[in-house]
């Protein structure tokens, strides 16, 4: 049974940092490409970071977070992370992790139509 549980959100001042975690169950983390998505109030959900299966571990970032966010994965812990630095008010959103069910991909995409979501998300608020 697919399980994706996000955690690590909270309220932080502009310029601060947070690290989000996504614990997965029901599948082997490094077999699939994984992604982080977010949805701000009144906006559509958008892909912000992804990482391919372990074979290549290619990463891809949205322009809005490039250079500030880093996606990583610890297969031994079945956990994916999103390190978020230099946070801005516009980063305020609910953050979700998701899995691309095509196995052993050497790439990843930020297009959410390829992903399955299973968690409730974690709220990130950036405010002074």
- pLDDT 10s digit of each residue in the chain, 128 long? 779 999 999 999 999 999 999 999 988 888 999 999 999 999 999 999 999 987 778 999 999 999 999 999 999 999 999 999 999 999 999 999 999 989 999 999 999 998 999 889 999 999 99
As a whole number of angstroms, the distance between CA 50 and CA 97 comes to 9
pLDDT score of 57? 81
pLDDT score of 39? 98
User: Is 68 in contact with 84 (CB distance < 8 Å)?
Assistant: yes
As a whole number of angstroms, the distance between CA 128 and CA 120 comes to 26
User: Is 35 in contact with 97 (CB distance < 8 Å)?
Assistant: yes
SS3 89: helix
pLDDT score of 90? 97
């Amino acid at each position: 049974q697919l399980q994706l549980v996000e955690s690590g959100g909270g309220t932080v001042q502009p310029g601060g940092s947070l690290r989000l975690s996504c614990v997965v169950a029901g599948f082997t983390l490094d077999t699939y490409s994984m992604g982080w998505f977010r949805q701000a109030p009144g906006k559509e959900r958008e892909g912000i970071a992804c990482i391919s299966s372990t074979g290549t571990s290619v990463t891809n970032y949205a322009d809005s977070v490039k250079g500030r966010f880093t996606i990583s994965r610890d297969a031994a812990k079945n956990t994916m992370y999103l390190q978020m630095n230099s946070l801005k008010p516009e980063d305020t959103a609910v953050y979700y992790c998701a899995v691309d069910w095509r196995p052993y991909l050497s790439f990843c995409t930020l297009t959410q139509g390829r992903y399955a979501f299973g968690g409730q998300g974690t709220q990130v608020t950036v405010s002074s």
